[in-house]
Amino acid sequence: MLEVESVLDEGSRFVVKLPEEKAYFENKSTVSFVSIQKGEINEDVKEMDDSEESTIVQNSSNQVILIVDDNKDIRSYISSLLQETFTILEAENGKKALEIAREVGPDIIISDIMMPEMDGHELCHALKNDITTSHIPILLLTAKGDKKVKITSFNKGADDYITKPFDSGVLISRVQNILKSRADLKRTFENKKWEAMQEETSNSVELEFLNKVEATVLEIIPKGNLNVIDLCRELGFSRTSLYRKVKSLTGLSINQLIRSIKMKRAAEMLLNENMNISEVAFSLDFKDLKYFRTAFKKQYGMVPSKYIKMNKTENTIDPERIKKEMNF
């Protein structure tokens, strides 16, 4: 039994009372089932809110750096250089680092090459060949400065390479440059259409990923009620890992990415299919025509009707126009 006593401007007192009899604690089922009425899903809340998605990855606004080295002193030294600006995670070998990378999705990994269990090259290869982590930039450190090691590092997918002993300023500068490059790419994606995202992506693995996302979205749409959960299931991602990858590559949330893909398809249908604006919108699972027009204008800078007028060629066959010209 729970008792509550409250006094205005003073506070509240909660008292929990439990009976002494043993019978009270017997293992009895207290669960009952009731039937529920399945209601209509409101389109406005069908998708996870973008602000809710943003809490999946990091509560901290700091970017996350994973430092990998079997030498604790080196890890501590690198951490001391970066900890004021970044959230720091550490791993003593490649195997542990791989686990952390898959679970957390750091913004960048700084790793030694010579380590037990899994060395830096093996870690690099594993990360770049896993679609959930292939987007994470990797900076390799090594005491060996020969050309062969350097070539191997880049062949394994390393984004940059520094020889030990290194200058602290050089390390910080390399980290900042890698992250700035990624940030610039995300801003490019944020300000461009889906077509431009694919054109800007030079990495074949990431381009394949973006193409797969597009194909999967378009495959699910005819089934109705496309949502983040369905997309994650079809792609084989957890919602967290898909959010991290999409956000890291494009700067967009999953919902924003889905909308961008749908708008690209809408633009294609408006120009190439014998369908009016309403038919195109409904075929892409937009139940609100006003929302469709708003989303289309946001991506293409104009409403669908104006887009059609500006992009349809003079030779495009328009059945409605032909009927009017022939007085049908």
pLDDT tens profile 110-165: 999 999 999 999 999 999 998 889 999 999 998 877 788 888 998 998 999 999 88
Distance CA 238, CA 226 (A): 16
pLDDT, residue 200, reads 58
Bridge partners of 140, per DSSP, are 111, 161
Residue ranges covered by each domain of the chain: 59-188, 194-311
Maximum mean pLDDT: which of 3-7, 85-89, 271-275: 85-89
pLDDT, residue 222, reads 87
Choices 3.20.20.70, 3.30.200.20, 3.40.50.2300, 3.40.220.10: CATH for 59-188: 3.40.50.2300
Q: Strand 11-16 vs strand 2-7: parallel, antiparallel, or unpaired?
A: antiparallel
**Helices assigned H by DSSP within the chain:** 43-46, 50-57, 72-82, 94-104, 120-128, 147-155, 168-190, 194-200, 204-220, 228-235, 239-250, 254-272, 277-283, 289-300, 304-311, 319-325
Q: What proportion of the chain, given as a percentage, has pLDDT over 90?
A: 42
Confidence of residue 252 (pLDDT cuts 50, 70, 90): confident
pTM above 0.75, yes or no: no
CATH 2.60.40.10 fits 194-311, yes or no: no
Please state which of the ranges 16-30, 39-53, 91-105, 306-320 shows the lowest mean pLDDT: 39-53
pLDDT in tens, 186-195: 776 665 555 5
For residue 179, CA distances in Å to 136, 183, 271 come to: 10, 6, 39
Distance CA 308, CA 232 (A): 33
Amino acid at 313: T
> Which residues neighbour 287 within 8 Å (Cβ) at sequence distance 6 or greater?
43
Mean pLDDT, all residues of the chain: 79
Q: Is 70 exceeded by the pLDDT of residue 3?
A: no
Please state the φ and ψ torsions of residue 91, each to the nearest 5 degrees: -145, 145
pLDDT in tens, 65-89: 999 999 999 999 999 999 999 999 9
* Contact assessment for residue 223 and residue 276, using Cβ atoms and an 8 Å cutoff: no
Distance CA 38, CA 40 (A): 7
142 vs 185: which has the higher pLDDT: 142
